[in-house]
């Protein structure tokens, strides 16, 4: 299901063009992941599991990358738009998702049908990680990716990443294939819903007012992206962990949950 290397590069390059912002801004809408509460937007319940790189607050090797990303987020928040339009995520929670697993109603329904789902998921992933580790051949070269630019999604704003070379891309695709083609994980209800679009979410959309000047907003985003292009930080993918979330602001794990070092 995932793209080949060249298709991926071409697709992400198009997402960062001014015309992509002009098109996407017509379709933005309020995210249900943050709800108004006493005048402030608060994270709504959205439970599930993902396979992600360690969040920024626990990650030392990418600390320069995350510091840059936090500065970019601040610039985004300073844009002259309605203050309730852009709902920032806590910088401590910034991370790259390598494989979505299960979330929201699908997760709640599965747990209701199978009370042992959580422990079975952990056990299956421990096996899959072990199998993948045995397949890993080239351990000498780091998996380097790089920020390409800002992308606009229907309910969020993110920065997208591209691999340093084809090997770095194939390593992640091979990992995703191992996850999504595992018979045991499939039997648990884990399936692939999306092509890989490597990204780190900076913010969600709150109130998208009817008088929002969408053309002006897309121009602001395009100009911001142009400024960032002068200094694109690199991102090292060296570890993936099973993490649980109750909402979109915090991703946690127990010490014995499966993890994998690349």
DSSP-assigned letter for residue 93:
G
Residue 102 · residue 185 · CB < 8 Å: no
Distance between CA atoms of residues 236 and 65, nearest Å: 9
Q: What is the mean pLDDT of each run of 10 residues along the chain (262 residues)?
A: 95 96 96 90 96 96 94 95 94 98 96 96 96 79 94 97 96 95 95 96 96 95 91 91 97 96 90
Residue 45 · residue 246 · CB < 8 Å: yes
Distance between CA atoms of residues 85 and 59, nearest Å: 29
Superfamily of domain 5-261: Cyclic phosphodiesterase (3.90.1140.10)
Distance between CA atoms of residues 55 and 241, nearest Å: 10
Task: Copy the structure tokens of residue 87.
Answer: 């709902």
Q: What is the pLDDT of residue 215?
A: 95
Distance between CA atoms of residues 45 and 141, nearest Å: 39
Q: How close are the terminal C-alpha atoms of the chain, in Å?
A: 22
Q: What is the pLDDT of residue 138?
A: 64
All residues at 6 or more sequence positions from 185 whose CB lies less than 8 Å from its CB, including other chains: 121, 124, 125, 128, 179
Nearest to 251 by CA among 137, 114, 98, 119: 98
Nearest to 166 by CA among 1, 13, 7, 17: 7
């Amino acid at each position: 299901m995932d793209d080949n290397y060249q298709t991926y590069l071409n697709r992400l390059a198009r997402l960062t063009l001014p015309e992509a912002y002009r098109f996407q801004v017509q379709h933005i809408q309020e995210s249900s992941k943050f709800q108004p509460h006493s005048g402030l937007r608060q994270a709504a319940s959205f439970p599930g599991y993902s396979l992600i790189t360690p969040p920024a607050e626990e990650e030392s090797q990418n600390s320069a990358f995350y510091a840059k990303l936090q500065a970019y987020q601040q610039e985004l928040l300073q844009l002259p738009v309605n203050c309730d339009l852009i709902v920032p995520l806590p910088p401590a929670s910034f991370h790259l998702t390598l494989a979505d697993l299960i979330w929201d109603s699908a997760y709640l329904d599965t747990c209701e049908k199978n009370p042992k789902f959580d422990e079975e998921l952990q056990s299956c992933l421990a096996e899959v990680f072990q199998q993948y580790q045995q397949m890993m051949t080239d351990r000498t070269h780091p998996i380097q990716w790089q920020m390409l630019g800002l992308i606009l999604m229907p309910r969020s704003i993110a920065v997208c990443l591209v691999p340093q070379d084809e090997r770095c891309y194939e390593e992640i695709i091979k990992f995703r294939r191992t996850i999504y083609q595992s018979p045991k994980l499939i039997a648990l209800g884990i399936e692939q819903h999306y092509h890989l679009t490597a990204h780190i979410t900076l913010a969600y959309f709150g109130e998208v007012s009817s008088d929002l000047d969408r053309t002006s907003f897309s121009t602001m985003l395009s100009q911001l992206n142009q400024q960032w292009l002068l200094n694109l930080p690199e991102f090292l993918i060296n570890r993936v962990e099973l993490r649980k979330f109750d909402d979109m602001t915090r991703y946690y794990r127990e010490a014995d949950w499966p993890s994998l070092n690349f």
